[in-house]
Structure 1
Amino acid sequence: MSYHSIFMRTASALAVTSVVGVAAYAAAPEAGAVIGNQAVATYQNAAGDTITVTSNTVETVVQQVAGVTLTADNTETIAPGGKAFLPHIITNDGNGPDAFSLTAVEQGTGALDTSALVFYPDADMDGVADSATPITQTPTLGAGEQFGVVIEATVASTATDTDTILITAASVLTAAVASTNTDTLTISNDAIVELVKSMVADPGVNGIVDAGDTVTITLTYSSTGLAAANNYTVQDILDANLVYVPGSAQWSDSSGALDDDNGSTVVDATNGSGESMSWDYDDGQTVNFSISSVGSGRSGSVTFQTTISDAANAGIITNKATQNVDGTAFPPSNTASVTVDNQYQVAIADTAYNIDGSINPAIASATDDDAARDDVVTESTDVYQGGVIKQEFVLTNLSNSPDSLTVDVSNVDFPDGTTFRFVGSDGVTPVVGPLGPLAIGESTKVTLIAQLPSDLAPTATTNYTAALTTTSEGSGVTDTSTAEFDGAILAAAVDLENNVAGVEGDGAAPYNGGTVPWITNATDPGVPVTFEMLVENNGPVSDSYNLSLDQALPDGWSVEFQLADGTIVSNTGTIPAGQSQTINVIVTPSDLAPPGDTPVDIKVESSVSGQGDRIVNQVTVNEVYDVAIIDDQSVQASPGGIVDMLHTVTNNGNVTITQGAIQDTGLTDFAGAVFYDANNDGVLDASDPVVDNFNDIAGGLAPGASLSLIYRVQTPSTATTGVSEIGTITLDGTLNGTQTDRDTADNAISDTIVIVSGDMTLTKYQYIDADCNGTVGTFSKLRQDVNPGQCIRYKIEAENTGAATADSVIISDAAPGYTSVTNCGGTCSETVLPAGSTATITSSNVTSDHGSILPGGFASIEFTVQVDQ
């Protein structure tokens, strides 16, 4: 419906406020986000009534925009005829998925004369190419995602001096969106050494290793400069999970193992060129070697082995080495890595286990009645018919990474009808879903609660078992344990009965034979039913009993347990031996409960012994037919004017209404009709049909559902101020042909339409100021598209379409989410009309004071918001 056409009257004061709350957003909204804005007007008419007018909603849809950052500039020294390897990282700064083209162009006058600039992928961003296949474009990256590349630059043997390379990453979505880096290469005739570190696992595959695997580390040095690298030293500090293998170090230029214990200054080997090697392992986590000189063009390597520690957690192990020449630091090696695979192992038992597989007796089941640590939890205490057996188990995560564990139970030979559930370590909280995540080596406890059938025959000997399984969420690895009960089943010492002769349900008899409830009470939706019960303590000592339902009621239903005086309880309180307690069980169906029968399984259970009993009664929900319409309205209209009044019809019954008359009466000189607001937008559209019966509504009106009726009334042009008429909409009391509406008091509304001399409407418009520079556009009420960083120009217009002056007109609005108010540096400041109007502006709110507006006049304010970026 159109609110501004409902309330048409003389205005003495008008205030407009946004109904969209202001929210602060630190980043650009994602592509497809909707920015919505709507205004509300309130003013007082001549009679002092407060009137509300709501503007239309204007919406703006955020479009996908590209953004990219390329990092970082590189500065490298290279020998004539050599190669440089230049790492870069591309970040998608846009608000949606995008890929980026890659180019590299030499910028100088040809001093370096680079003959090839080739991109290779470096997806793990360790500065080393992942493959030898060149690329010219990244894969598609999500918003905020990164990707690494390595550029191989080759220079001619005649190259000299210094030159730069311009690296560009450009959006495939929008080619003009790009980012650049500048790499600088300098030709040098001095020593240049490149150090490359690799870690190869055996038997690991693709760098994936397990605890105990061997990792061969190779440090390869290449003297690519024109001068020898004298007094060349390398240091490698190993990760704690890389355990050095003594005696495994070898130099490519000599045979035999290097001595770990000679110290860093003692020569371990000499090659054919007379270059000496000194190797040292410090018995900690550091290896060092030094070479007296590495001649120009020479390369070599040092290889040694490590093993993956048994204590290594799952994840990436990274390492890099450092180097220097004659005491001057040179660039470090690349970062090499191996990935420790997830190794999963779980345990469920009567005790916890340590990572090494040994028993941890400090964490053990508190309910295990046998002394052995044998994965079996035994309970030997006797229980009553319908009682519960509680058995605590310990779950342990023996994996090398955090993991969550599920636990399940399978009945082996507990009696039929036994139900099982788990509670957590507190003994109370139900276990729903996985437990955890548990840290490496962490344990937790769960308790299996077995509820025995209340009609189970007493027996002196038992041997019940159930199988428990815990499962790793990360891998599906499982472990099993056993719950065993060998106590006796004692005769029930509590009896729950209906306090109604003939249908008591005496003894362990939940049903009145088969599956027949003992008592059935009928009621309406939302109307409570009371079952009067007796709890009899037939045992030898006093006891108290918890009260509950042994079922889940339908959604929206509720139950209360009350003493005879109305006190709400969840426990009977202490009942002496041989005595009983009256309990009222009050069941209330939901307000929309459908017709039909619902069993109510009422249970008592001793909190001491676990014994219990059940009675199954039943609630029958009646068919209820009840429709309602709201509310009476009092509106104003000018002579010859039109008003639309929105009314809500609700089905308060529990049966779909498909038939029933909808009548409008009472108007004489005024004319009216009732329309169904089919698209529920509150506005009378050309497609909204006139209705006079629920059978005009496709599918009818479902229980609990509502629909909107728009009552349109037009007044005669000859009507004079003060004349009024009352139109009435009535919903017939006979529904669906033969059924009677339960409550006809809410089946009619009366709308009063009064002829006045004033009228006020409120409208909101927008257009996109793409460059945020105050560019004039065409205002529209339709949805627009906008990019992050662009601006939206709003216009709110209050029009006095009546015959009397509107006084003290105030317009206010708030910047919608994802935006803030801006003046574009002074080029898109607010505009207010008529002359003499004033405005107060903040980053989140706009308020304007327009004074009095004559009939036919307008009050408006224009302002601009900028979308976050």
Structure 2
Amino acid sequence: MAYHSLFMRSASAAAVGAALGSAAFGASPEAGAVIGNQAVATYTNSAGDTITVTSNTVETIVQQVAGVTLTSDNTETIAPGGKAFLPHIITNEGNGADSFLLTAVEADSGTLDTTQLVFYPDANMDGVADSATPLTSTPVLAPGEQFGVVIEASVASTATGTDTITITATSALDGTELDINTDTLTISNDAIVELVKSMVADAASGGNPDIIDAGDTVTITLTYSSTGLAAANNYVVQDVLDGNLSYVPGSARWSDAAAPLDDDNASTLADGTNGSGETIAWDYDDGQTVNFNISSVASGRSGSVTFQAVVASTANAGLITNVASQDVDGVAFPPSNTASIVVDNQYAIAVADTAINGDGSANGTIASATDDDAANNDIVTETGDVYQGGVIRQEFVLTNLSNQADSMTLQVANVDFPAGTTFRFVGADGVTPVVGSIGPLAIGGSAKVTLIATLPTDLTPTATTNYTATITTISDSSGVSDVSTAEFSGEVLAATVDLENGVAGVEGDGAVPTNAGDPWITTTTDPGQPVTFDMVVQNEGPVSDSFNLSLAQALPDGWTVEFRAANGSVATNTGTIPAGGSTTFQVVVVPADDTLPSDTLVDIALVSSVSGQGDRIVNQVTVNEIYDVKIIDDQSAQAAPGGIVEMTHTVTNEGNTAITEGAILESGLSNFSGAIFWDVNGNGVIDAAEPVIDNFDDLTDGIAPGVNGLASGDSISLIYRVQTPSTATPGVTEIGSLSLGAALNGGTATDADTTDNAVEDRITIISGDMTLNKYQTIDADCDGATTPDSAFTKTRQPVEPGQCIRYMIEAENTGSSPATNVVISDAAPAYTAVTNCGGLCDEDLFPAGSTATVTSTSVSSDHGSILPGGVARLEFTVQVSN
């Protein structure tokens, strides 16, 4: 088994603003995000009808803004003439990619007198510089991305006292967005010890130092440097290992002594002595803690202790970190840097006749239930006999040997099963088909699948077989794979059932069900119209049997099939047929309503529910060309004298053939005038470039690039624009008709159903009308200090996260009668919430006496009755998430 590592209030206008303080926000939008919506107004006209009108759409586009955090302040002790290493992490808090200028400046408030402040990269943010190449800026960081640096601070030999260093990270995007840390350095003549920890994969254990796998050996080094003026006496270091690391007994070494360090201090404190008489006591507590005590580390001296640890075989992929602590004569000193290793994603999967243990051995407690081979190997063997067209079932076990959860797909390759054999996989229940991936499986988890091989019904019986197929399972995460083998060595028995058409001359003998590729019966029909095939099944076997009915080949999407017994009932099985007996049934096939002209094979099959024997007959359904276009729906609209109404209709090609030509006409208007526009972008509004049309061939590129018309199954929107004369009297009605011609494609085709080829639009002159417009302006500081109303615009505006947008919606009565019950409704767009800016940008309503209902996500205003020529107005503010 080869496997590979690898979140209401209602009030008068005066009180509306007070209740909304801070708003609840959604996710912060990234640079380039578009924010926009429409407002809606309802009113009652003089006829008592409730009318709804929709405003235009206004949009704002989110601009890129900078943001940065710098962490964190450091406090270090340093000897005169010494160096300190100060780690910091920069985080891009903006909403777009940015880099950050780095500066470090001593406060000069004391006599510390740093001689050098240099930034070095610390990409893995472990507190230790990654290279000796100085930095003045970070790389470009994505939103939310972090980058580490280490400042090397050097002080003069005459340095005294304490001073601070100001570290600044400034956005390169705008040069003003910044964050500051303050590091404090104190000169000391006492003992100072710097402790650095590293963890590196041991190449000798077969690992790459940059790629660490579960099971690898890691060398851990604790390097101490006595940088103070006094010796560090009674120097103690303690390291508590992560639970995924196991100390390797006997692996500890001190740089000052040649002999290994004794893990057990029961017999002596001194496990090693250097040439200066300084001793080390090393201890491993048989858990996760190691520590050592050096009697004295002289000023200027440095050394190291190394030991090894093994990454647990159960370690999941990801980061393992560790920090060591230190003290001098009982006084705690700053801990070491954070050392880390990254356990690589290791992918390994297996497919076999058993589950597989982590060491690669077979786990016989989870095994195939169909394997006739007693050995635990990669082969699942079936030795039982099977009939022609019979089914062979072979169960396999999948195992996830990766160090993270994984899912996997299955493939089967026919090696020497007979040509025409079909394969499919089912799940652990032996029934449910495997579609897509198995899993995800937990680390070490297993799952059973069954390969079902169906032999051809016309396969020649044989007593000697040696059929094999290769089963491959592939990791979804990595692509690593494993293979196993399905082997069949049983006998293929002769079929004992015959399926035929119940039509003389085209019965179709069981030995040649496909008729050499020429279907036995071909029946023509229209989309959605059924075809019935009469069938006869003969049980030619020695015992009674019943047979499951199915199609050996799936029909196209949307098609249906139904099997009916002789009594007309729906059936899935023939019922019991005595030996030598026969029965009849019908197969009713219905093509999908949108089926294109085509020939479709109907591969009718039956299989014994007992023995697996079966037979097939292949017939055919031919679907005719159908031409059918439809327009909906009748509309009723109201207009003021001299007004304009636009009514939208949908035209659909319900046939299965493209329409390249055919009339699209309007008629019936006398004093009113109208035209048909193609709403190309489907926005319900006639845009400047959208054409007047009168034929399907005006639909540019409607079928394909360069081919005008309407493709099968497609729909378009038409807008019937009607203008009334200014002399029209209220109550006058005209009816405009839109119709689709029955002659299509240059007269070569005729619409099959003309009952849905016309609609009527009724336009009635009324004395009331209302238009709705929406405008916006940017309130950058969310303080209500927007530009004058004249600066409100319908056009797209730029906005930044945290800024505010002031909306104004105006409903104007352009009719000749009052509009009553006028209500304007609007909602906060995505990435925003309704706000009153702490009382600085309350909602504004007109006329006086209007009221509003406000939530964090919506505003609705009630303006009562608006006289002809009058205006209802709502203004409110939303804030963009920050």
TM over 0.5: yes
Distance change (3 Å), C-alpha of 1:177 and 1:372 = same
The corresponding residue for 1:833 is 846
Which residue in the other structure is 1:133 paired with?
133
Whether 1:369 and 2:372 are equivalent positions in the alignment is yes
Higher alpha-carbon deviation: 47-56 or 358-367 = 47-56
1:186 — aligned with what? Answer: 186
Q: Which amino acid aligns with 1:323?
A: Q
Is the Cα contact below 8 Å between 2:115 and 2:154 reproduced in 1? Answer: yes
* Structure 1 vs Structure 2 CA RMSD: 2.4
Matched with 1:357 is: 360
**How far did 1:542 drift?**
4.1
Q: Is the 8 A contact 1:365 1:393 kept in 2?
A: yes
| Aligned position for 1:96 | 96
Partner residue, 1:71: 71
More divergent stretch after superposition (554-563 vs 839-848): 554-563
Cα offsets for 1:812-866 (capped at 9, x unmatched): 2222221111111222111111122222222222122211111111111111111
CA contact (8 A) 2:39 2:824 kept: no
Q: Deviations over 1:425-470 (max 9, x none)?
A: 2222333444334344333222111111111122233221222233
Q: Which residue of 2 aligns with 1:430?
A: 433
User: Greater CA deviation, 543-552 or 173-182?
Assistant: 543-552
Give identity over the alignment, percent: 72
Q: Does structure 2 retain, via aligned residues, the 8 Å contact 1:812–1:848? A: yes
CA-CA distance at 1:365 after TM superposition: 1.0
SS at match of 1:514: helix
Q: Which residue of 1 aligns with 2:626?
A: 624
Amino acid at match of 1:831: D
SS in 1 for 2:697: helix
SS in 2 for 1:352: strand
Contact (CA 8 Å) 2:46, 2:767: kept in 1 or not? no
Aligned to 1:670: 672
1:113 aligns with 2:113: yes
> 1:7 maps to which residue?
none
Q: Report how many aligned residue pairs link the two structures.
A: 846
Partner of 1:328: 331
Give the counterpart letter for 2:431 in structure 1: V
The counterpart of 1:745, out of the listed 730, 737, 755, is 755
Q: Which secondary structure does the structure 1 equivalent of 2:396 belong to?
A: strand
SS in 1 for 2:295: strand
Partner of 1:615: 617
- Check conservation: 2:850, 2:861, Cα contact below 8 A: yes
Report the alpha carbon displacement of residue 25 of structure 1 after superposing the two structures with TM: 5.1
Name the SS for the 1:425 alignment partner.
Answer: coil
Q: Tell me whether 1:722 sits opposite 2:731 in the alignment.
A: yes
Match of 1:162 in 2: 162
1:304 and 2:307 correspond:
yes
| Other-structure match for 2:18 | none
Task: For residue 115 of structure 1, give the secondary structure of its aligned residue in structure 2.
Answer: strand
**Structure 2: how far apart are the matches of 1:846 and 1:474?**
48
- Alpha-carbon contact 2:110-2:162 (below 8 Å) kept: no
Identify the residue that residue 173 of structure 1 maps to in structure 2: 173
For the residues of structure 2 that align with 1:264 and 1:142, how far apart are their CA atoms? 57
Whole-angstrom distance in 2 between the partners of 1:640 and 1:245: 94
Q: 1:266 to 1:55 in 2, by over 3 A?
A: same
3-state SS of paired residue (1:695)? helix
2:255 to 215, 235, 252: 252
Pick which of 550-559 and 467-476 moved more: 467-476
Task: Say if 1:75 and 1:579 are closer, same or farther in 2 by CA, change over 3 A.
Answer: farther
Residues 573/34 of structure 1: CA separation in 2 closer, same or farther (3 Å cut): farther
Amino acid paired to 1:845: S
Distance 1:461 1:146, change over 3 A: same
Query: What stretches of structure 2 of length at least 5 have no aligned partner?
Result: 1-22, 701-707
Aligned twin of 1:230: 233
SS of corresponding position for 2:737? strand
1:713 and 1:120, CA in 2 relative to 1: closer, same or farther beyond 3 A? same
Distance 1:643 1:399 in 2: 66
Q: Aligned partners of 1:801, 1:581: CA distance in 2, in Å?
A: 77
Structure 1 residues 535 and 857, CA gap change in structure 2 (3 angstroms): farther
Shift of 1:582: 4.0
Which residue identity lines up with residue 460 of structure 1 in the other structure?
A: A
Question: Which residue number corresponds to residue 849 of structure 1?
Answer: 862
Letter of the 1:779 counterpart:
F
Q: Match for residue 741 of structure 2?
A: 732
Moved more, 731-740 or 543-552: 543-552
Matches within 5 A, 1:375-774: 375-473=378-476, 476-511=479-514, 513-564=515-566, 567-698=569-700, 699-738=708-747, 739-774=749-784
Post-superposition Cα deviations, 1:736-770, rounded to whole Å, max 9, x if no partner, equal 12211111111111122222222111121112211
How many Å apart are 1:793 and its aligned residue? Answer: 0.9
Q: Residue type of the partner of 2:785?
A: T
Looking at structure 2, the residues matched to 839 and 471 of structure 1 have their Cα atoms a distance apart, in angstroms, of 61
Q: Please say which of residues 733-742 and 259-268 is displaced more in the overlay.
A: 259-268
> Larger deviation: 409-418 or 572-581?
572-581
Contact 2:162 2:184 in 1 (8 A): yes
State TM-score, norm by structure 2. 0.91
After superposing the two structures, state which structure 1 stretch, 592-601 or 309-318, moved more: 309-318
- CA displacement, residues 4-63 of structure 1 (integer Å, 9 cap, x when unaligned): xxxxxxxxxxxxxxxxxxx97532122222222112333444444443322212222222
Contact 1:317 1:340 in 2 (8 A): yes
Mapped contact 1:498–1:505 kept (Cα < 8 A): yes
- Identify if the C-alpha distance between structure 1 residues 718 and 437 changes in structure 2 by more than 3 Å, giving closer, same or farther: closer
Secondary structure in structure 2 of the residue aligned to 1:721 = coil
* Structure 1 counterpart SS, 2:838: helix
Which residue type is aligned with residue 561 of structure 1?
A: F
| Residues 233 and 323 in structure 1, CA contact (< 8 A), matched pair in contact too | yes
Secondary structure of 1:152's partner?
A: strand
Displacement of 1:389? 0.5
Change (3 A) 1:490 1:102: same
Cα 1:322–1:581 shift into 2, 3 Å: farther
Q: Distance in 2 between matches of 1:261 and 1:468?
A: 53
C-alpha distance in structure 1 between counterparts of 2:35 and 2:26, whole Å: 15
SS at 1:468's partner residue? strand
8 Å CA contact 1:351–1:393 kept in 2: the answer is yes
Judge conservation of contact 1:232–1:294 (CA < 8 Å) in 2. yes
**Kept after mapping to 1: 8 A contact 2:44/2:819:** no
| 2:146 corresponds to 1:146 | yes
Residue aligned with 1:197, SS:
strand
Q: Is the 8 A contact 2:25 2:833 kept in 1?
A: no
Aligned residue number for residue 8 of structure 1:
none
Distance 1:400 1:822 in 2: 49
Deviates more, 1:237-246 or 1:74-83: 237-246
2:798 aligned residue (785, 793, 806): 785
User: What's the CA shift for 1:572?
Assistant: 4.1
Is 1:561–1:568's contact at 8 Å kept on the other side of the alignment?
yes
- 1:866 is aligned to 879
Unaligned runs of 5+ in 1: 1-22
Residues in 1 aligned to 2:489 and 2:445: alpha-carbon distance in whole angstroms: 31
Contact 2:41 2:822 in 1 (8 A): no
Does the aligned pair in 2 maintain the 1:264–1:278 contact within 8 Å? no
Which sits farther off after the overlay, 579-588 or 68-77? 579-588
User: How far is 1:336 from its partner?
Assistant: 2.4
Measured against aligned partners, the alpha-carbon deviations of 1:271-318 in whole angstroms (never above 9, x if no partner) come to: 333322222233444322211222222222223334455555554443
Deviations 1:510-555 (A, max 9, x none): 22x2111122222222333333334444434444433332223323
Change (3 A) 1:173 1:736: same
- Residues 462 and 629 of structure 1, relative CA distance in 2, 3 Å threshold: same
Name 2:14's counterpart in structure 1.
Answer: none
Match of 2:810 in 1: 797
Output the TM-score relative to the length of structure 1. 0.92
Query: Are the equivalent residues in 1 in contact too, given 2:42–2:824 (CA < 8 A)?
Result: no
